[in-house]
């Protein structure tokens, strides 16, 4: 078993695109995935699943991918209605370039929760992709 940072609730289309074998850049904006994605470094393996974090349990499928590039961005957004209100917000996002290593599944969820890094034990790759 391998202990990895997990990214959950990823669209099946994104996972299907990664399974084609070419590196793809994915932008994470959901709070839970931003917390987890900001903890990985280039070269780290991560587990991605289309199952939402709250529903992730043993046996759920996903893929293991290697991080080939990483960038964190803060965007400031402001809205104004003259004389009525002024609103300023910030949006934090993390972009990871990922390359598939193999398919896998969850053995157990080690840690999850609000503002926590999702940690999962996954089955090690039995047929890793040739480099």
The set of long-range contacts for 122-126, using a CB threshold of 8 Å and a minimum separation of 24, is: 122/1, 122/2, 122/4, 122/47, 122/62, 122/64, 123/1, 123/2, 124/1, 124/2, 125/64, 125/101, 126/102
In this prediction the pTM is 0.85
Average pLDDT over residues 26-47: 95
16 has a pLDDT exceeding 70 = yes
What rounded mean pLDDT belongs to the chain? 90
How confident is the model over 42-51, as a mean pLDDT? 96
Residue range 29-45: average pLDDT? 95
What is the pLDDT confidence band of residue 62, given thresholds at 50, 70 and 90?
very high
Residue 61 has pLDDT above 60, yes or no: yes
Q: Which domains does the chain have, with CATH numbers?
A: 2-122 (2.30.130.40)
């Amino acid at each position: 078993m391998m202990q990895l940072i997990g990214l959950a609730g990823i669209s099946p289309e994104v996972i299907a695109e990664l399974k084609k074998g070419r590196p793809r850049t994915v932008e994470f904006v959901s709070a839970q995935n931003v917390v987890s994605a900001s903890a990985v470094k280039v070269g780290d393996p991560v587990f991605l699943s289309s199952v939402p974090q709250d529903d992730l349990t043993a046996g759920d499928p996903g893929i293991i991918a290697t991080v080939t590039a990483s960038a964190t961005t803060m965007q400031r957004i402001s809205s104004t209605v003259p004389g009525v209100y002024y609103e300023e917000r910030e949006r934090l996002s993390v972009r990871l370039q990922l390359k598939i290593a193999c398919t896998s599944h969850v053995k157990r969820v080690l840690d999850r929760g609000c503002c926590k890094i999702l940690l999962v034990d996954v089955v090690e790759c039995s047929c890793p992709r040739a480099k």
